[in-house]
Amino acid sequence: MDLTHGERARTQVVTIQDVARAAGVSPATVSRVFNGGNVTPARAQSVQQAAAALGFAPNRLARSLRKQRSSVIALLIPDIENPFFTSLARGVEDAAQRTSLSVVLCNSDEDTDKERRYLEVALGEQMAGVIVAAASQDETDLGPLIARGVPVVAVDRRPRDAEVDAVRLDDRHGGEAATRHLLRAGYRRIACITGPQGASTSEERLAGHRSALRAARPEDAVDDTYVRHADFRVEGGRAAMRDLLSLPEPPDAVFVANNLMTIGVLDALREAGLTPPGIGVLSFGDVPWASLVRPSLSAVELPSYELGRTAADLLLQRIEGGDAPLQTVVLRTTLQVRESTGGPAGP
C-alpha cells in the first residue's frame, strides 16, 4: 500500500542522506539547495523532487543546525610535537580561515585507539569534514565517516584501501635522493632508520633507500643489516643509532626518516664521540636550526605547509558538494645538501 507524504513522515525519519541518494547527488548538494547555496537549476530541481517524494521538509531550526555543523572541520595528526605537523596544521588553518571554517586539532600520539575515539567524536558532532594523517596504514578505519557521507581527506599518510581524496609527499623519491647523495659523497655502509612498520611513510622512504642501493650496486643483494625501524620520535632515533653503532662494522652514514629521530641520532653520535661528516647524517625533514648547527645538517626539505593547505582545499571542495572523481595529489621534496654529508672519515 502506498503511503501519503504525511503518513511516511510519521512512520520514519527522512534524512538528508536519504534525499541525496534519491536525487543522485551528495549530501552537501542537498544542504546547499535548502540553505540557498550555489547549485545548478537541474540539480536543484532533482533535489526538490526527491525531497517532495520522500516527505522531507527541513525546518528553520534544522537548517540552522546544519549551518553550525558545516563551520567546523577536524584535523587529526599523529604527533603534535613534530614541527612537520605543526607547519602542516598552519597550512590547513590558513586555507580554512579563508572560508570562515574553524579547525579542531586532534593529536593521536600514533595511537590507533585514541585516533578512533577522535574519529567517533567528529562523526558524533557532525563536523563538516575531516583531514587525517593516519596513525596506521592497516588499522586506521575511515569507513564509518565515509558511510555517513562525511568528506575526508588523507594527508601525508593514507590508510590502505581508503576511498578518499589524499595529499601526500613523494616519500620514495625523497628517500632515493637522500641515499643516492650519500653514495655519491663516498659513503658505503649506509644505514636507514625508518619509522614504524605498517606506516606508509616509513615503508616508502625505506623503499626509496633500497632502490638507490640497488641502482648503485646491482651485483650485490640488498639486505637489512643496516635497517632499523623506530617510532618517529627522539628516543626511537637514539636507540636505533646506538644499536647500529654496536655492530661489528658500524655504518659510515645514516639516512634518518624523520626530523625528530635525527635529534636522537645526533645525540647517540655525540655520546660515542662521533661527529658528522665523518659519519654522514641526512634527515628526512628539515628543521629551522638545520643550517645553524655545526656542522650544518643535510636534509630532505618537505613542503609541509603546502601539504596542509592543499589538503584543506580538497576538503573544502568536497564540503561544497564537489562530485569530481577522487584524486591523490603528490608533492615533491627537495634535497638540501649541507656539511653533515661532506664525506666519510679516513681509515
Domain of 212: which CATH number? 3.40.50.2300
Domain boundary among 34, 66, 98: 66
Q: How far apart are CA 234 and CA 287, in angstroms?
A: 14
Q: Kindly state whether residues 128 and 224 are assigned to the same domain.
A: no
Examine residue 10 and state whether it is found in any structural domain, yes or no: yes
State the CATH number of the domain containing residue 53: 1.10.260.40
User: Across the beta sheet with 152-155, what order do the strands follow?
Assistant: 102-107, 72-77, 129-132, 152-155, 165-169, 328-331
The type of residue at 201 is: T
180 and 291 in a single domain? The answer is yes
Peptide bond into 277 cis (omega under 30): yes
Contacts for 56 with CB less than 8 Å, ≥ 6 apart: 14, 16, 18, 19, 50
287 lies in the same domain as 319: no
Domain end (from 66, 93, 116): 66
pLDDT, one tens digit per residue, over 165-211 is 999 999 999 999 999 999 999 999 999 999 998 788 999 999 999 99
pLDDT tens digits along 232-272: 999 999 999 999 999 999 999 999 999 999 999 999 999 99
Same domain, 251 and 181: yes
Amino acid code (one letter) for 69: R
Please determine, for residue 66, whether its predicted confidence score (pLDDT) is greater than 70: no
HSE (side-chain half, CA atoms, 13 Å) at 110: 14
Query: What is the pLDDT at residue 33?
Result: 75
290 within a domain of the structure (yes/no): yes
Mean pLDDT of 38-47: 80
Instruction: Please determine, for residue 221, whether its predicted confidence score (pLDDT) is greater than 90.
Output: no
Residue 242: all three cell numbers together: 646506538
Least confident stretch, 6-20, 22-36, 63-77, 313-327: 6-20
Judge if 286 and 200 occupy the same domain.
yes
**Residue 117 in domain:** yes
Same domain flag for 46 and 84: no
Closest CA to 224 of 195, 190, 178: 190
For residue 6, is pLDDT > 50?
A: no
Task: Tell me which residue has cell 599523529.
Answer: 78
Query: What mean pLDDT do residues 18-27 have?
Result: 83
Considering the domain boundaries, does residue 346 fall inside one? no
Burial pattern 178-203, b for ≥16 Cβ within 10 A else e, equals: bbbbbbebebebbbbbbbbeebbbbb
- Whether 252 is in a domain gets the answer yes
**Are 164 and 308 contained in the same domain?**
yes
DSSP track, 162-216: --SEEEEE-HHHHHHHHHHHHHHTT--SEEEEE--TT-HHHHHHHHHHHHHHHHH
By residue range, what is the domain housing residue 126? 69-169+304-331
Q: Is the pLDDT of residue 158 over 60?
A: yes
Query: How far is residue 172 from each of residues 29, 194, 205, 260, 330, measured CA to CA in Å?
Result: 38, 12, 5, 19, 11
Q: What are phi and psi of 75, to 5 degrees?
A: -120, 115
Of the candidates 26, 34, 36, 28, the one whose C-alpha atom is nearest the C-alpha of residue 56 is 34
Distances (CA, A) of 221 to 210, 234, 256, 330: 10, 31, 22, 30
Number of domains in the chain: 3
Same domain (yes/no): 138, 225: no
Which CA distances in Å does 202 have to 196, 197, 251, 344? 6, 7, 20, 26
Q: Are 104 and 323 in contact (CB under 8 A)?
A: no
Domain boundary residue among 36, 66, 96? 66
**Distance in Å from the first CA to the final CA of the chain:** 91
Percent of the chain with pLDDT over 90: 58
Residues near 105 by Cβ (< 8 Å), separated by ≥ 6?
A: 75, 77, 80, 89
> Do 91 and 149 have their domain in common?
yes
Query: Residue 45: how many CA atoms within 13 Å on its side-chain side?
Result: 3
- Do the domain assignments include residue 62? yes
Regarding whether 223 and 257 lie in a shared domain, the answer is yes
Nearest 5°: CA angle at 150, between 146 and 152?
75
Q: What is the pLDDT of residue 84?
A: 92
Q: Does residue 308 sit in the same domain as residue 320? A: yes
Residue 347 included in any domain: no
Give the model's confidence band at 289: pLDDT under 50 very low, under 70 low, under 90 confident, else very high.
Answer: confident
Q: Residue 318 and residue 129: Cα distance in Å, rounded?
A: 8
pLDDT over 60 (residue 11): no
- Cell (9 digits) for 66: 546544519
What mean pLDDT comes out for the span 119-136?
Answer: 91
Confidence at residue 12, expressed as pLDDT on a 0 to 100 scale: 52
> Is residue 178 located within the same domain as residue 279?
yes
Tell me the β-bridge partners of 131: 75, 153
Asked if the structure places residue 149 within a domain, the reply is: yes
Q: Judging by DSSP bridges, how do beta strands 280-284 and 253-256 pair with one another?
A: parallel
